[in-house]
Structure 1
Amino acid sequence: MTLASLADELASGRLTSRALIEQCLERAEGSRHQGNVAFISIDADRVRADADAADEARRQGRAASPFTGIPVSIKDLFDVEGEVTTAGSRIFAGNPPAAADAAPVARLRAAGFIPFGRANMTEFAFSGLGMNAHYGDPASPWQRDVGRVSGGSSSGGAVSVAEGIVPLTLGTDTGGSCRIPAACCGITGYKPTASRVPQDGTVPLSKSLDSIGPLANSVACCASAFAVLAGERAKELQARPVSGLKLGVLRNFVLDGMDSVVSEAFENALQKLSAAGAEFADVTFTPIDRLPEINVRGGLATAEAFQFHAQFIKDREAQYDQRVASRIRRAEAQQEGEYEHLLQERARMIGQAVEAFAPYDAIVMPTIPVVPPRFADCAEDADYIRNNFLLLRNPSVGNWLDRCGISLPMTPHGEAPAGFMLMGKAGEDEALFGIAAGVEDVLRSAMGR
Structure 2
Amino acid sequence: MTDDARQPTALALGRAIETGELSPVDLAESCLSGIEEAGLESAGFVRLTPERARAEAAAAAARAAAGLRRSPLDGVPISWKDLFDTAGVLTEGGSPQLAGRTPALDAEVVRRGREAGLVCIGKTLTVEFALGGIGTNPHFGTPANAAMTDVPRVPGGSSAGAAVSVAGGHVPIGIGSDTGGSVRIPATWNRLVGFKTGIGAVPRDGVLPLSSTLDTVGPLCRSVADAAEMFAILANDGPVDLAGARAAGLRLLAASNLVHDEADAEVAEAMPAVLEALRRSGATVVEAEIPEFTEIHDLLQRHGGIVTAEGYVTCRHLIDGREAQIDPDVLARMAEGRAMSAVDFLIVRDASARLTGKLAGRLAGWDALVHPTLPILPPPIAQVTADRDAYARANALALRNTRLGNVLNLAAVT
- Could you list the per-position Cα deviations for residues 232-285 of structure 1 after superposition, in whole angstroms to 9, with x for gaps in the alignment? 122432343212211111010101011111122221111111111111111212
Counterpart for residue 125 of structure 1 = 130
Between the aligned partners of 2:394 and 2:172, the Cα distance in structure 1 is: 29
**Number of equivalences:** 405
Amino acid at match of 1:314: D
Q: Does residue 1:171 correspond to 2:160, yes or no?
A: no
Mapping for residues 415-434 of structure 1, pairs under 5 Å: none
Mapping for residues 15-164 of structure 1, pairs under 5 Å: 15-31=22-38, 35-36=41-42, 38-95=44-101, 97-164=102-169
Find the residue that maps to 2:136 and give its secondary structure. Answer: coil
Are 2:297 and 2:404, in contact at CA under 8 Å, matched by a contact in 1? no
Question: What is the deviation of 1:145?
Answer: 4.8
Between the aligned partners of 1:94 and 1:167, the Cα distance in structure 2 is: 28
Question: What is the deviation of 1:46?
Answer: 2.4
Mapping for residues 194-343 of structure 1, pairs under 5 Å: 194-296=199-301, 298-343=304-349
Amino acid at match of 1:47: A
Amino acid at match of 2:139: H
Question: What is the deviation of 1:359?
Answer: 3.1
Unaligned 5+ segments in structure 2 are: 1-7
Q: Does residue 1:404 correspond to 2:411, yes or no?
A: yes
Gap change, CA 1:107 and 1:400, over 3 Å in 2: same
Find the residue that maps to 2:97 and give its secondary structure. Answer: coil
- Could you list the per-position Cα deviations for residues 318-357 of structure 1 after superposition, in whole angstroms to 9, with x for gaps in the alignment? 2211211221121232223322222111111101111222
Gap change, CA 1:45 and 1:341, over 3 Å in 2: same
Find the residue that maps to 1:72 and give its secondary structure. Answer: strand
Q: TM-score w.r.t. structure 2 length?
A: 0.94
Counterpart for residue 416 of structure 1 = none
Between the aligned partners of 1:135 and 1:115, the Cα distance in structure 2 is: 20
Are 1:29 and 1:35, in contact at CA under 8 Å, matched by a contact in 2? no
Gap change, CA 1:141 and 1:26, over 3 Å in 2: same
Are 1:28 and 1:35, in contact at CA under 8 Å, matched by a contact in 2? no
Between the aligned partners of 2:42 and 2:259, the Cα distance in structure 1 is: 35
Amino acid at match of 2:81: K
Q: Which of 391, 398, 411 lines up with 2:398 in the alignment?
A: 391
- Percent of aligned pairs with the same amino acid: 38
Find the residue that maps to 1:295 and give its secondary structure. Answer: helix
Cα RMSD between the aligned structures? 1.6
Between the aligned partners of 1:244 and 1:331, the Cα distance in structure 2 is: 44
Between the aligned partners of 1:36 and 1:287, the Cα distance in structure 2 is: 40
Between the aligned partners of 1:324 and 1:225, the Cα distance in structure 2 is: 30
Gap change, CA 1:259 and 1:145, over 3 Å in 2: closer
Question: What is the deviation of 1:18?
Answer: 0.7
Question: What is the deviation of 1:93?
Answer: 1.4
Between the aligned partners of 1:44 and 1:277, the Cα distance in structure 2 is: 48
- Could you list the per-position Cα deviations for residues 66-94 of structure 1 after superposition, in whole angstroms to 9, with x for gaps in the alignment? 32111110000010111111111111112
Are 1:37 and 1:120, in contact at CA under 8 Å, matched by a contact in 2? no
Q: Does residue 1:360 correspond to 2:366, yes or no?
A: yes
* Most deviating of 277-286 and 78-87: 277-286
Find the residue that maps to 2:254 and give its secondary structure. Answer: strand
* Most deviating of 397-406 and 257-266: 257-266
Between the aligned partners of 1:284 and 1:28, the Cα distance in structure 2 is: 45
Counterpart for residue 440 of structure 1 = none
Find the residue that maps to 2:155 and give its secondary structure. Answer: coil
- Could you list the per-position Cα deviations for residues 354-392 of structure 1 after superposition, in whole angstroms to 9, with x for gaps in the alignment? 122223210111110111111133131111010001111
Gap change, CA 1:258 and 1:34, over 3 Å in 2: farther
Unaligned 5+ segments in structure 1 are: 408-449
- Could you list the per-position Cα deviations for residues 110-137 of structure 1 after superposition, in whole angstroms to 9, with x for gaps in the alignment? 1000111110011111000011111111
Between the aligned partners of 2:59 and 2:85, the Cα distance in structure 1 is: 21
* Most deviating of 282-291 and 352-361: 282-291
Counterpart for residue 431 of structure 1 = none
Amino acid at match of 1:193: G
Q: TM-score w.r.t. structure 1 length?
A: 0.87
Q: Which of 368, 371, 375 lines up with 2:377 in the alignment?
A: 371
Question: What is the deviation of 1:295?
Answer: 2.3
Find the residue that maps to 2:104 and give its secondary structure. Answer: coil
- Could you list the per-position Cα deviations for residues 153-196 of structure 1 after superposition, in whole angstroms to 9, with x for gaps in the alignment? 11101011001100001110111111111110011100011111
Are 2:254 and 2:287, in contact at CA under 8 Å, matched by a contact in 1? yes
Question: What is the deviation of 1:57?
Answer: 2.5
Are 2:42 and 2:144, in contact at CA under 8 Å, matched by a contact in 1? no
Find the residue that maps to 2:98 and give its secondary structure. Answer: coil
* Most deviating of 213-222 and 9-18: 9-18
Q: Which of 343, 349, 354 lines up with 2:355 in the alignment?
A: 349
Amino acid at match of 1:346: S
Counterpart for residue 3 of structure 2 = none
Find the residue that maps to 2:371 and give its secondary structure. Answer: strand
